Structures are given as structure tokens and as C-alpha cells.
Chains A and B, each alone.
Chain A
């Protein structure tokens, strides 16, 4: 059974710092991996989608990498801002045309001014 873990559960950094959020999954047979952002009481906003054949994806100050063989993904946030404060979730889609995403519990990020 696929399990997704995000460590740490919470992270607090000063504004301007570069930071890395971690996501690990137990079964390397994945179709893709998606990173989301969730603000309190809100829905999820898709940040980046990495297909299993890709190593990384970039969007603005965000860079997500994928090492499928080791079951790891990282989300790198450059020059963090207070507006980046949110919970970041990663989710994997297992191979085989699976219908569902398997989610981690998220990392709550606080960027202090």
C-alpha cells in the first residue's frame, strides 16, 4: 500500500530564506507526483506536476524534483516571502491508471517578516 510522508510537519523560517520541503513515498511505481498549496480554510492550489519520466519542474520561485527510484521529492522555495505561508501537500498517483491520488499530511510553513 502506497504511503506518503512529509517531514517536517511544520517549519518556520525568516523572510528571504531559501527552503526545501520533503516528500517521500513507499512505492516507486508512480505515474506522477503533484505539489499543492493550501491556505487555512481554503481548497488546494496546484503548484507543480511532475510526471514519472521527469526529474524536475519549475514555476517562478518554486522548483520540484523527483527521484522515483529512491521514493523522494523535494519542493524548493527560493527567497521565501510571508505570502508563502501555507500548508504544502504532496500527492502521488500510483501506476496502472489508478484513479486516486495518495496524499501526505502536509508541511505547515510559516515565513516570518
Chain B
């Protein structure tokens, strides 16, 4: 079955700790994306990557970091510098940058 997996589904962390969210796809897509979703707001782009070993900041990259060492994987690290990290995080991918995007099931991060 082809698709996008995100783990874990729920994540709890103490304030001041870094945390890494996993995103894996077996769709052979070149482009991958991280979005953040907050209640009452549209999805906002954090980072995106068009190709291995390359990535660009989105609208709200501050306090986040990513890596793209493999085509299939695009992990997101939420650092202690992120002021309000509690949110629902969604990973997506597409064949190329301009194509239809497919989303994973999401990770709900709660920081207390």
C-alpha cells in the first residue's frame, strides 16, 4: 500500500525540550511538505523540500528545523525556540512541486 505515514499520532513534551516528528512516504514523490494546523486557522506551511538534501523555509519556519537525507523521509524537529508548539502537524508529498498534494494522518503535539 502506497502512502504517507506519520509517527507518533500523539506526542507530549515538556516545555524546553526538542522533539522530532517523523514523516515517511513510499509514493516515490520528490516534493515533501510540513504544515501546521491550529483551530480556526488555515494550514500554514513550515518547510518544504523539492529534492533530497535541499529544503526551503515556508511562512512559519522559526523554531523548526528539517532534514531531507533520503527521498522517503522528511523529519521535522520542533525546537525549544518555537514559542507556541502545541498544534496538529501534517506532512504532505507530491510527485513534483506543482502537482496534487497527498497528506499523512498527522501528529498532534502537546507541549506543557
Contact = CB atoms under 8 A, between A and B. Distances in A.
Nearest to A95: B98
B50 to A, nearest CB: 7
Contacts of A91: 43
Interface of B: 4, 6, 33, 40-43, 45, 48, 50, 56, 58-59, 88, 90, 92, 97-98, 100-106, 108
B97 A46 contact: no
Contacts, number: 56
Contacts of A101: 43, 45, 101
Interface stretch (A36-44, A59-67, A70-78): A36-44
A42 B50 contact: no
Contacts of A100: 33, 45, 48, 58-59
